[in-house]
Amino acid sequence: MFRETHVRTLAKAISWRVLGTVATITLVYAYTRRFVPSLAIGGLEFTSKIALYWFHERVWDRLHFGKEGVRPAVLWFTGLSGSGKSTLSRWVADRMRQAGMRVEELDGDVIRDIFPNTGFTRADRDAHIRRVGYLASKLEQNGVFVVASFVSPYEESRQFVRKQCKNFVEIYVSTPLAVCETRDVKGLYARARSGAIKNFTGVDDPYEPPSNPELVIDTTSIPIEQAGGRVFDLIRQRTRRI
Amino acid sequence: MFRETHVRTLAKAISWRVLGTVATITLVYAYTRRFVPSLAIGGLEFTSKIALYWFHERVWDRLHFGKEGVRPAVLWFTGLSGSGKSTLSRWVADRMRQAGMRVEELDGDVIRDIFPNTGFTRADRDAHIRRVGYLASKLEQNGVFVVASFVSPYEESRQFVRKQCKNFVEIYVSTPLAVCETRDVKGLYARARSGAIKNFTGVDDPYEPPSNPELVIDTTSIPIEQAGGRVFDLIRQRTRRI
């Protein structure tokens, strides 16, 4: 929800006045062919109309008529640990902000810090994704774009989230397990293989690939700008004004 | 996030033009004392400047400069079952919407339907309120007013939510237990007394009154308009532009 500051109104009044007064002087001169009266009328108009324009803008700022909500979307990045989904989602979110969109990023690791007692069993993971989905849908309903990055391995939980949202865009980051395991940035695969972590997706817990994602991206060998660009193009398509 | 529709821009161009052209005609007449040229210049200006104004508005709609986010708030209604907090919060939310605010209502019963496996033990209740608080804070961060109505009996959980939010307004609906139990709209107190419901706040689970609420309202004998009016006045005070 935005309101105009008084500085914005003044800046508009001045920029309009320059434009409007040049037009008026031209008009009066074209009609009268007298240069001095044209300039004099322009001068009077310039000062008096800034005040009038100001007043006119302040009244319009109170009216909601013709202000159209932008249709947001929930971008859901799903994929294995190490698939590159967080790097990709962060790149896309930054690009969206640059384009003036209001974006909330939801990331698995951050949200788990807030609810530390959420475990990694199937029931716990499912409840977790449902809660995040509910949060995402509430943000979407209020005009906010959501960029969510979660392993979210179960088709059923993702379908639940899809149903909650109005404009759900599922991006399956399909980088193969072998590649993810080679990257192993946080050393999680090594710990899962040694048994130090239980229920680790891809090792001793299944990943169910999306049955009908809006986009599939394998980050094995394409640069981030290309992968991100494909996501961004899709968003622009899907978020035309209602 | 709002954008101007083309209809709004056109309406503004016309309303401004009427105002502006009347001023121009007056000006030209005051300077030249000739009526016909004044009208003729007014006529030319009227048509040409609508197009110019349109163009000027469309350019400004692209600029974020001077668009100021409204500072929202999280209104947290806490109190016993039957205290009147939901009736009050609904009244306030409606009033806020009428005043043009973007409002999301969060209600205990609705949210429990979405997470049916949340129980009523102290740990479950606490986790539940923390999750709702996180949701509320994310909405607030994105410019949405939140009106939350939850028994939320524990001071610690409410303090957690307060810390998450920027502009937290705690409204303690302090209607005494005896009054709430007499009302017993849903028959819950009767079932709690008979032992059919366990961990019921006020019967076999404690309610810890807020230590420092922004507002205390006892709905025993005041009409809804008066109670709601007090809350609404407080919101207006607390949500002045940043």
Domain end residue (candidates: A38, A62, A86): A62
Partner A, chain B 124-153, Cβ-Cβ below 8 Å: 127, 130-131, 134-135, 138-139, 141-144
Alpha-carbon gap: B70 to the closest alpha carbon of chain A (Å): 6
Pairing of strands A168-173, A2-4: unpaired
Q: In this structure, are B50 and B88 located in the same domain?
A: no
Contact flag B66-A100 (C-beta cutoff 8 Å): no
Q: ipTM of this complex > 0.85?
A: no
Q: Using an 8 Å CB-CB cutoff, list chain B residues near A135.
A: 134-135, 138
The backbone torsions φ and ψ at residue B162, rounded to the nearest 5 degrees and listed phi first, read -55, -45
Per-residue pLDDT for B242 more than 70?
no
- Using a CB-CB cut-off of 8 Å, the residues of chain A touching B8 are 65-67
Q: Which residue of A has its CA nearest to B20?
A: A49
Mean pLDDT of A42-68: 81
Query: Domain for residue A69, yes or no?
Result: no
Provide DSSP, B161-179: HHHH-SSEEEEEE---HHH
Q: Are residues A202 and A233 in the same domain?
A: yes
* Residues B168 and B132 reside in one and the same domain: yes
| Whether A55 and A132 share a structural domain | no
In a domain, B90, yes or no: yes
Query: What mean pLDDT is predicted for residues B154-159?
Result: 95
| Whether residue A241 has pLDDT greater than 60 | no
B111 in the same domain as B53: no
Q: What is the pLDDT of residue B99?
A: 82
Measured in angstroms, the CA of B8 and the nearest CA of chain A are apart by: 5
pLDDT digits (tens, 9 = 90+) for B81-131: 999 999 999 999 999 988 878 899 998 766 766 665 567 788 888 888 888
Query: What pLDDT is attached to residue B140?
Result: 93
How confident is the model at residue A137, as a pLDDT? Answer: 93
Assign B12 a pLDDT band (cuts: 50, 70, 90): confident
Q: Do A163 and A221 fall into the same domain?
A: yes
Question: What pLDDT does residue A242 have?
Answer: 39
The mean per-residue pLDDT over the stretch B132-144 comes to 90
> For chain A, what is the domain count?
2
Q: Which of A14-23, A141-150, B192-201 has the lowest mean pLDDT?
A: A14-23
A159 and A231 share one domain: yes
Provide the residue range defining the domain that includes A11.
6-62
Q: Is A22 on the interface with B (CB under 8 A)?
A: no
> Which one of the listed residues B137, B149, B152, B174 is annotated catalytic?
B152
Asked whether residue A19 is assigned to any structural domain, the reply reads yes
Contact B48 A23 (CB under 8 A): yes
A residues 70..89 contacting B (CB < 8 A): 70, 72
How far away is chain A from the Cα of B194, in angstroms, using its nearest Cα?
32
pLDDT recorded at residue B123: 83
Of B62, B91, B107, which one is at a domain's C-terminal end?
B62
- Same structural domain for residues A34 and A97? no
Q: Does A182 touch chain B (CB under 8 A)?
A: no
Enter the pTM of the model: 0.76
Cα(B150)–Cα(B77) distance, integer angstroms: 6
- In chain A, which ranges are E strands? 2-4, 67-69, 74-78, 103-107, 145-149, 168-173, 215-217
Residue A171 pLDDT: 97
Residue of chain B nearest A15, judged by CA positions: B56
Q: If you average pLDDT over every residue of chain B, what do you get?
A: 87
Burial of B24 (0-12, 13-18, 19+ CB in 10 A): buried
Q: What is the pLDDT of residue A113?
A: 63
Same domain, A51 and A145: no
Query: Are residues A27 and A131 located together in one domain of the fold?
Result: no
Structural domain contains residue A24: yes
pLDDT tens sequence across A121-135: 888 888 888 888 988
- For the segment A134-184, what is each residue's pLDDT rounded down to a tens digit? 889 999 998 899 999 999 999 999 999 999 999 999 999 999 999 999 998
A39 part of contact set with chain B, CB < 8 Å: no
Query: Does residue B233 sit within a domain?
Result: yes
A225-236 per-position pLDDT tens digit: 999 999 999 998
Residue B43, token pair as written in the block: 């006529």
Out of A38, A86, A89, A152, the active site residue is A152
Which chain B residue shows the shortest CA-CA distance from A102?
B1
Q: How far apart are the first and last CA of chain B?
A: 17
Other Cβ atoms closer than 10 A to B225: 11
- Whether B1 maps to a domain, the answer reads no
CATH of the domain at A135: 3.40.50.300
Whether A1 is in a domain gets the answer no
Inside any domain, residue B125: yes
Q: What is the pLDDT of residue B113?
A: 63
Position with higher pLDDT, B96 vs A1: B96
Give yes or no: residues B112 and B191 share one domain: yes
End-to-end alpha carbon distance in chain A: 18
In tens, the pLDDT along A197-221 reads 888 999 999 999 999 999 999 999 9
Could you confirm whether A48 is annotated as catalytic? Answer: no
In a shared domain, residues B110 and B207: yes
